[in-house]
Chains A and B, each alone.
Chain A
Amino acid sequence: MGIAVAMVVNGRNVTAEVDERTLLVEFLRRDLRLTGTHVGCDTSQCGACVVHVDGRAIKSCTMLAVQAAGSAVTTIEGLGSGTQLHAVQEAFRNCHGLQCGYCTPGMIMTAVELLKRNPNPSEHQIREGLEGNICRCTGYHNIVKAIASAAKVLQATAAA
């Protein structure tokens, strides 16, 4: 039958028995009902499914659930702390960095990691960093603005 997997998702210990071929994104969406992580393609191109696995931004459609066993996974639902939104989430709203919202969780999760790696990115670096995430609504203009603005907020917070 299935394989038992255990991991920490958004700070919570989860265990389940899954079919071997279950992708991490399927496990999150179907078994854990964490539907904020989206599926936008079948070729690992669009980035709607990006989550953090042990602190790294990962396309959860390219990873089997069993490969994530023992890892700490953070999804969009677990990004803020309590009712406090992450600065990147706030920036997406403040800069109108989303329209239909479908690519948004993946964009935000990618952006959070991007700013961890490079706290003060140039516009060019932001655009390059978003290569693995496709948005069909915004034309990226305001997404880029949102990430630049979040960078400022995070840097100010870090300095304080």
Chain B
Amino acid sequence: MGSGIGASVLRVEDQRFITGTGTYTDDIQRPGQSHAYIVRATTAHGIIKKVDVSHALSAPGVIAAYNGADLQADKIGILPCGWMTMNIDGTPMFSPTMPVVAHDRVRYVGEPIAVVIAESVHQAKDAAELIEIEIDDLPAVASIERAIAPGAPIVWDGAKGNVGFHWHIGAEAPVTAAFARAAHIAKMDLVNSRIICNSMEPRAVCAEFDVGKGEFTLYLSSQNPHVQRILLATASLGFPEHKIRVISPDVGGGFGIKAMHYHEEVIACWAARKLGRPVRWTSERSEAFISDRHGRDHQTHVELALDKDAKFIGLRVSTHANMGGYYSTFGPAIPTFFYATLLSGTYPIPAIYCDVTGVLTNTVPVDAYRGAGRPEATYVIERIVDRAADDLGMDPAELRRRNLIPVDAFPYKTPMGSEYDSGQYELALDKALALSDYKGFEARRAEAKTRGKLRGIGLSSYIEACGAAPSKIVMANGGGSGMFESATVRVNPTGGVIVMTGTHSHGQGHETTFAQVVSDKLSIPMEQIEIVHGDTARTPFGLGTNGSRSLALGGTAIIKALDKIIAKGKKITSHVLEAAEADIIFENGRFSVVGTDKGLAFGELAFTAHAPARFPTDEIEPGLEETAFFDPVNFTFPAGVHVCELEIDPDTGTTDIVAYSVVDDFGNIVNPMIVDGQVHGGTVQGIGQALLENCVYDEDSAQLLSGSLMDYCLPRADDVPNFKLDYIVTPSPHNALGVKGCGEAGAIAATPAVMNAVVDALQPAGVQDISMPATPLKIWNALQAAKAAA
């Protein structure tokens, strides 16, 4: 097998990771560096009376200590929200201001209130104990229910009833009409539980200021260095963009949380300049729990109307989304545009209406987490479909089959405005049912019963919008910037190719996948190709990696740049070989005159371009380097089916996933090995949310009770199964590679599949529903309650 598109090429990046020679931000040491420790609010809500850092200043090793007023005095700006959601009445959402360091009021446990900078982290931490802090506590509120209850503590004076926005999408009248003629209406209340992401590498920053050049260099564990730079320049730090260089070297996982703009990068830059020394900060894990943006946290009431043939005719969804104490960088976009536009799922539902209330609470701000809105939508539709099947006594697979969007309906436009590109949803269902031996399930359930186990099976048929995003669509819906992608292809004189991409790889393997795309296109070996990412000084402006966008957008930008390289190569060749340009072809890595054996190998052409004696340089510029930008016309829409089969031990409430099958349609696949890995990882994150990850805030104090890896259960190797994977390939028509994106699908589809399976297992024991995470305790309690009620 070669190294082109479709080959499971082993990863280029692995050598450094398996030998411990990767370079993560905390591995970088700078001469004269100092260490920052962030002092954080330990109370969830209160008025700051005093943050006196003076005693800390005299502690051993301390270089400086600052409070919020110090940053204010230096005119340090705010952490902006990049998305404007409109209220139903046409007014703009309430926009709270998020300071870099709080100076008048704190609104969640973990909010920065002071910083100590010392010769070592230990010294900074010791000195932080000497800071005098007085905060007058205010009543706090953590949950949606409490925040919207009458008389609730008010998080922001400008947000009445703690409502930050009330947004809607879809037309109500057709939905009302559909429900009026429905033969059956299925109803459900659903909780999409709060998630704490926990990338294994904690966030980290190292900032330095070069006085001579008047320039910042910021090493930052980030998914999108260019976005961080523009936000530093325009909103938080306030410094010319071209004088800030952001380098995101090896990054140990992102999953969304490293796409946001955070306090610490601003503090480190500001202090580095002030002190004339590099300033670094690395999050501790428990600190990450209260400072990394959280994910999900929705409460939804959903109603699905079906006609007498069990066809879906209307969907009504009302969601409350917990936004936390402030809006994070993309916060309001996630439960609105990136959520509700996918509520049609894989079904042609003619009438859909959704309203979303953004609720402010005294909790860590909530933002994108793997899937970002799309998992929440899939959870709603895939759970209510199962409920409808149960109401009607139908097989859930059969009810889905009856309602899937047929192959000949593409492009399919939903009432929410999304236009699905392509798909074969019924084929995916068939394959998944076969892969999971769905037919044989009842026999397995009966066998499990003889062992005292409750066995269940659950499906989800998911849809996802990837390749974020068409700039016009995003900006029309509240986005503060475009979301195109970029690539520069530089061919060296000796024929080596360097590709500089605006995306960022933090586990996805772009250095391999993108090189395969180039290798395939130019017919040159992988060893001759270098992919550069994560450095604003070396790469063209791009939006980084999130929303499964990198190959669809970044890959297409590479193809476009390569097309320009090939076009120029043809021009040069036509002069060198004295043939008409139209007669030059590029095939198998060679520019040649069609129908002859005359030609230039790619390497020869590269050298010729840099030794420009044989073509007119007044007509063709020397050198061989091209840049391309790609703004897609539409999102891509991967889809597929997950089938989860599990057993519950009624004596302990523990769940054991015994089989798990996945069929995905990601369009064309460049590296199947890497794609399999993305599906495994995403699926386990979805399983984690469904069964294990329990984010708990104390209702009265709004203290995070599950604030460490001792308290918050991430999936471990013995919590999860092996996976059976299969694929369907329906290329996307919206990009040159025909790819759709694969990074988030697992996290989107797994959660409802697992929960449907849990409910299927519990129903014979009298438990009708259970919320996430379905921990052993929760399941056991539900079983006891059912037993008592029986």
Contact = CB atoms under 8 A, between A and B. Distances in A.
Given A130-B716, A138-B677, A93 B11 contact: yes
Contact of B680 (A19, A92, A141): A141
B284 interface: yes
Contact of B718 (A102, A130, A138): A130
A32 interface: no
Contacts of B680: 138-142
Q: Which secondary structure dominates where chain A touches chain B?
A: loop
Nearest to A102: B252
Given A101-B507, A136-B198, A96 B710 contact: no
A115 interface: no
A136 B19 contact: no
Contact of B717 (A33, A92, A131): A131
B14 interface: yes
A140 B22 CA distance: 21
Contacts, number: 177
Contacts of A75: 20
Q: What interface size band does chain B fall in?
A: 35 or more
A98 B19 CA distance: 12
A43 B288 CA distance: 13
Contact of A127 (B286, B714, B718): B718
A108 B18 contact: yes
A58 interface: no
A3 B30 CA distance: 26
Given A40-B202, A130-B717, A135-B200, A19 B122 contact: yes
B631 interface: no
A58 B199 CA distance: 22
B293 to A, nearest CB: 16
Contacts of A85: 18-19
A156 interface: no
Contacts of A98: 14, 17-18
A21 interface: yes
B722 interface: yes
B673 interface: yes
B200 A136 contact: yes
Contacts of B13: 101
A101 B505 CA distance: 11
Contacts of B27: 29, 35
A118 interface: no
A100 B11 CA distance: 11
B14 A140 contact: no
Question: Which has the most chain B C-beta neighbours within 10 Å: A85, A100, A123?
Answer: A100
Interface stretch (B351-359, B494-502, B548-556, B681-689): B681-689
Nearest to B250: A101
B506 interface: yes
A144 B718 CA distance: 10
Contacts of B253: 99-100, 102, 136-137
Contacts of A29: 27
A126 interface: yes
Interface string B648-678: 0000000000000000000000000110110
Nearest to A92: B18
Contacts of B251: 100
Nearest to B252: A102
Contacts of B397: none
A66 to B, nearest CB: 15
Interface string B618-659: 000000000000000000000000000000000000000000
Contact of A93 (B10, B282, B284): B10
Contacts of B723: 139, 141
Contacts of A89: 18-19
Given A38-B24, A40-B285, A137-B677, 5 more contacts: A46-B285, A126-B717, A130-B716, A137-B253, A139-B677
Return the 9 tightest CB-CB contacts between A and B, nearest first. A36-B20, A102-B252, A101-B17, A100-B507, A139-B684, A76-B20, A139-B680, A99-B507, A45-B709
10 contacts: A34-B20, A42-B284, A43-B708, A96-B673, A99-B508, A101-B22, A127-B718, A133-B716, A140-B716, A141-B722
Interface of A: 19, 21, 29, 33-43, 45-46, 48, 75-77, 80, 85, 89-90, 92-94, 96, 98-105, 108, 123-124, 126-128, 130-131, 133-144
